[in-house]
């Protein structure tokens, strides 16, 4: 397949894998992040907000905990921009965990529209949900369902669909050495069968005129070009473009992307979820919101005593849902207690907070309380250089840590 380029391809595996991050523009612009970044950055050519960096420990910084960036393999950043997702659209990332491409789509949508992020494996779906929370995505619905189950309810619904298909992982051999031992020709064939079924469900959910991006991190034609050729024969699709990224040609691992458009079919609506109201609870929340936040959340929905802000035009669905919009908090007795999800979706300057230095921030992320000179009482954001890390509860000069144990470092 590579011919005379094979020697260069083979030699590329002698070099270490590239490290990179993608700036989360839901919280900070790339230009602003470059000003405060503790490590050198070099832009990834095909990702506007992606940057190479040679530093270790990218997932252990305070900025990472604040959701200012997502650690992502450079080549993996190429697929989402090709979908051209925009605010107000209905977008699906069908095989979404751990969330790199899905949160990239969320940034492109700027909080508008509905973004369904699906993962069939429940433990991986929980990881996906935690990344969605950390990056402050407000318009996401995280589901856990087989593609065919999803297709039963969302037929012709989505304007844009990303299929980052489970694959044999040949493009990840340098980064993940364990993948070499797991490879077999039988696995390639099994992946191809699974990918064909996933594509069938994806096409069913795509509205007429809609765009779909199919991507893998493998080299085998059976999982890439042959999948696209078969789909073009079976369904009313048009091929817009195909691209391969090879590690000897780019600073990144192996990747494949194809862009498709649906030529015929229909665009269908779904029944909307009717928000459930609790008048007394809403009054408590609105009062707390007025006193503590610099913005107003809409489309409020109660599940028991827990309050959510749902995406606009939230579809009513029976599939297992781990997250929908923003979990604002709970009404307990005559008070409102904010949730960590609310803290993480707030931007710089949108709520009252306690500014801390780096060491105090690290200690807070480990679960410690800290002294506080504020005379105010109640819930306050813990801020590092203005960016929220979570909630503390201030009383008598002590800031009690309210960070959930599952997100502590």
Question: Per residue in 33-65, is it b (16+ CB within 10 Å) or e — as a string?
Answer: beeebeeebeebebbebbbbbeeeebeebbbbb
Read out DSSP for 314-353? PBP--S-EEEESEEEEEEETTEEEE-HHHHHHPPTTSB-E
Do 216 and 145 share a domain, yes or no?
yes
Q: Are residues 182 and 286 in the same domain?
A: no
The answer to whether residues 231 and 197 touch, using CB atoms and an 8 Å cutoff, is: no
> Same domain, yes or no, for 195 and 303?
no
Annotated active-site residue 217? The verdict is yes
Domains of the chain: total? 3
Q: Write down the residue that tokens 């595996």 correspond to.
A: 13
Distance CA 343, CA 369 (A): 17
Q: Which of 78, 144, 167, 217 is catalytic?
A: 217
Dump the DSSP string for 105-153.
HHHHHTT-SEEEEE-SSHHHHHHHHHHHHHTT-SSEEEE---HHHHHHH
- pTM score, whole prediction: 0.96
Q: Classify each residue of 300-320 as buried b or exposed e, where b means 16 or more C-beta atoms within 10 Å of its C-beta.
A: bbbeeeebbbbbeebbebebe
Residue 150 in any domain: the answer is: yes
Pairing type for strands 321-324 and 140-143 reads antiparallel
Nearest to 307 by CA among 338, 334, 347, 271: 338
pLDDT value of position 42 = 98
Going from the C-alpha of 354 to that of each of 90, 99, 289, 374, the distances in angstroms are: 37, 30, 17, 8
Domain limits for position 339: 274-351
Are residues 205 and 104 part of one domain?
A: yes
Instruction: Single out the residue in 262, 284, 319 at which a domain terminates.
Output: 262
Buried residues in 253-286 as b, exposed as e (16+ CB within 10 A): bbbbbbbbebeebeeeebeebeeeebeebbebbe
Q: Taken in order 346, 390, 114, 232, is the CA torsion positive or negative?
A: positive
Q: Which of 335, 351, 367 is the endpoint of a domain?
A: 351
Here the tokens at position 235 are 């369904």
**95, 236: one domain:** yes
Together in a domain, 173 and 287: no
The CATH number of the domain holding residue 133 is 3.40.50.150
CA 404, CA 334: separation in Å to the nearest integer? Answer: 23
Domain co-membership, 219 together with 334: no
pLDDT in tens, the chain (409 residues): 778 888 888 888 888 899 999 999 999 999 999 999 999 999 999 999 999 998 889 999 999 999 999 999 999 999 999 999 999 999 999 999 999 999 999 999 999 999 999 999 999 999 999 999 999 999 999 999 999 999 999 999 999 999 999 999 988 887 777 777 788 999 999 999 999 999 999 999 999 999 999 999 999 999 999 999 999 999 999 999 999 999 999 999 999 999 999 999 999 999 999 888 788 899 999 999 999 998 999 999 999 999 999 998 899 999 999 999 999 999 998 999 999 999 999 999 898 799 999 999 999 999 999 998 777 789 999 999 999 999 999 998 899 999 999 999 8
Q: Which residue has the tokens 């949900």?
A: 129
pLDDT at 370: 94
């Amino acid at each position: 397949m590579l011919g005379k380029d094979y020697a260069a391809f083979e030699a590329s595996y002698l070099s270490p894998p590239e490290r990179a991050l993608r700036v989360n523009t839901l919280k900070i612009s790339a230009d602003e992040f470059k000003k405060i970044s503790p490590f050198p950055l070099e832009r990834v050519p095909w990702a506007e907000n992606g940057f190479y960096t040679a530093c270790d420990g990218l997932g252990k910084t305070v900025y990472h905990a604040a959701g200012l960036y997502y650690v992502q393999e450079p080549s993996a950043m190429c697929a989402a921009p090709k979908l051209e997702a925009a605010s107000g659209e209905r977008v699906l990332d069908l095989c979404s965990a751990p969330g790199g491409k899905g949160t990239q789509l969320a940034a492109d949508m700027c909080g508008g529209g509905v973004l369904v992020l699906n993962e069939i494996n429940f433990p991986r779906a929980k990881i996906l949900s935690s990344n969605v929370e950390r990056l402050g995505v407000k318009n996401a619905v995280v589901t856990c369902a087989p593609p065919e189950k999803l297709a039963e309810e969302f037929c012709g619904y989505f304007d844009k669909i990303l299929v980052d298909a489970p694959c044999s992982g040949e493009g990840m051999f340098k980064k993940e050495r364990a993948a070499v031992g797991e490879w077999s020709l039988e696995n390639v064939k099994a992946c191809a069968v699974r990918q064909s079924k996933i594509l069938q469900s994806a096409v069913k959910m795509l509205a007429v005129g809609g765009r779909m991006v199919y991507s893998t991190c493998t080299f085998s034609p059976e999982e890439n070009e042959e999948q696209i050729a078969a789909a073009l024969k079976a369904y009313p699709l048009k091929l817009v473009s195909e691209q391969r990224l090879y590690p000897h040609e780019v600073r990144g691992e192996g990747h494949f992307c194809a862009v498709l458009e649906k030529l015929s079919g229909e665009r269908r609506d779904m029944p909307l979820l009717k928000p459930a109201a609790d008048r007394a609870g809403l009054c408590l929340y609105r009062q707390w919101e007025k006193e503590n936040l610099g913005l107003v959340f809409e489309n409020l929905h109660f599940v028991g005593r827990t309050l959510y802000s749902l995406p606009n035009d939230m579809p009513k669905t029976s599939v297992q849902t781990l997250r929908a919009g923003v979990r604002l908090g709970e009404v307990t007795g005559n008070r409102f207690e904010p949730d960590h999800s609310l803290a993480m979706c707030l931007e710089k300057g949108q709520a009252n907070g306690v500014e801390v230095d780096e060491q105090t921030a690290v200690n807070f992320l480990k679960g410690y309380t800290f002294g506080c000179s504020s005379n105010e009482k109640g819930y306050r954001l813990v801020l590092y250089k203005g960016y929220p890390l979570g909630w503390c509860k201030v009383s008598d000069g002590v800031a009690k840590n309210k960070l959930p144990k599952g997100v502590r470092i």
